[in-house]
């Protein structure tokens, strides 16, 4: 069964600290993996995208990694800011056009 | 701003009623996707239209229907509403028939439906 599992479900950290969010997937045939950021009351916005041949991709303070062998991805946020408070959603696309969404990690940044 | 416009932003209605949600895709995008997001649930794919034609169907209930018009805007119709239909409904658009490496989904800010 095609699944995308994210952990932790929620996370609270202090402003300025780093954090890492995890995504494990069991999908086939894999095409690409995106991380989206969803602010409260807004639609998701794409942060990064990686295919199986890409191990890492950065977007400012966000760095995503992908291990296609273990089917794991992570999103690392450096020097967190209050505006990073949001849900982060891991989304895997299959080669047959299906898109599988994880349930997201809810990140709270405290001042 | 994603360029995808959804109206209304909020909708409160009673059980058994029928509502219509509207979506205008980003300029130049031919595909429109509808998603449902319930509390603490991930985005659930409902249906996709490409250039006016239905392209893919997900977990869409028979009480729900959608269409894409010649000007590419789309409407999602929800009928015989139940309490469990309360959710955020998102519309997304993409350039081509499929979301690809260079063609991400662009999401609107959703319509929050509350069924009482």
Separation CA A33–CA A80 (nearest Å): 23
| Closest-CA residue of chain A to B33 | A99
Residue where the block lists tokens 């602010």: A39
Confidence (pLDDT) at B27: 94
Confidence (pLDDT) at B29: 93
> For residue B99, is pLDDT > 80?
no
Separation CA A76–CA B109 (nearest Å): 25
Q: What is the pLDDT of residues B61-96, one digit of tens each?
A: 999 999 999 999 999 999 999 999 999 999 999 988
Q: What is the pLDDT of residues A12-33, one digit of tens each?
A: 999 999 999 999 999 888 889 9
Task: Say if residues A13 and A110 touch (Cβ distance below 8 Å).
Answer: yes
Confidence (pLDDT) at B19: 97
Q: In terms of Cα–Cα distance, which of B10, B47, B4 is closest to B24?
A: B4
Contacts of A55 (CB under 8 A, 6+ apart): A65, A66, A67
Which of B42, B91, B112 should we substitute to test contact with A (largest number of A Cβ atoms within 10 Å)?
B42
User: Are B109 and A51 within 8 A, CB to CB?
Assistant: no
Task: Say if residues B30 and B95 touch (Cβ distance below 8 Å).
Answer: yes
Separation CA A18–CA A80 (nearest Å): 6
CA dihedral (B4, B55, B75, B14) in degrees, to 10, reads: -110
User: Are B101 and A102 within 8 A, CB to CB?
Assistant: no
- Band of pLDDT at residue A1, cut at 50, 70 and 90: confident
User: Could you give the residue ranges of the DSSP H alpha helices within chain B?
Assistant: none
Nearest to B109 among A4, A43, A51 (CB): A43
User: Are B107 and A43 within 8 A, CB to CB?
Assistant: yes
Q: In terms of Cα–Cα distance, which of B39, B40, B87, B93 is closest to B60?
A: B87
User: Are B104 and A34 within 8 A, CB to CB?
Assistant: yes
**Which SS3 state, helix, strand or coil, does residue A41 take?**
coil
Separation CA A43–CA A38 (nearest Å): 6
- Band of pLDDT at residue B36, cut at 50, 70 and 90: very high
Q: A9: distance to nearest CA of chain B, Å?
A: 10
Confidence (pLDDT) at B89: 97
Name the phi and psi angles at A54, rounded to 5: -105, 130
Separation CA A91–CA B25 (nearest Å): 21
Q: Give mean pLDDT, residues B9-27.
A: 97
Per CB-CB distance under 8 Å, the chain A contacts of B45 are 99, 101
């Amino acid at each position: 069964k095609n699944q995308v599992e994210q952990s932790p479900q929620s996370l609270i950290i202090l402003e300025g600290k780093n954090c890492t969010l995890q995504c494990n997937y069991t999908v086939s045939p894999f095409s690409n993996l995106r991380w989206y950021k969803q602010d409260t009351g807004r639609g998701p916005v794409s942060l990064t995208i990686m295919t199986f041949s890409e191990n890492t991709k950065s977007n400012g303070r966000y760095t995503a990694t992908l291990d296609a062998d273990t089917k794991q991805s992570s999103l690392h946020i450096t020097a967190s800011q209050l505006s990073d408070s949001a849900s982060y959603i891991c989304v895997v696309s299959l080669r047959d056009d299906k898109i599988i969404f994880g349930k997201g990690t809810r990140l709270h940044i405290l001042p | 701003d994603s360029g995808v416009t959804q109206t209304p932003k909020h909708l409160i209605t009673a059980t058994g009623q029928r509502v219509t949600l509207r979506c205008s895709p980003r300029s130049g995008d031919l595909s429109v996707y509808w998603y449902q997001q319930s509390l603490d649930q991930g985005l659930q794919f409902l249906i996709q239209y490409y250039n006016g034609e239905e392209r893919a169907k997900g977990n869409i209930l028979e009480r729900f229907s959608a269409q894409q018009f010649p000007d590419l805007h789309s409407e999602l119709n929800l009928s015989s509403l139940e309490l469990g239909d309360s959710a955020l409904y998102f519309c997304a658009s993409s350039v081509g028939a499929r979301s690809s490496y260079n063609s991400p989904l662009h999401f609107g800010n959703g319509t929050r439906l509350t069924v009482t």
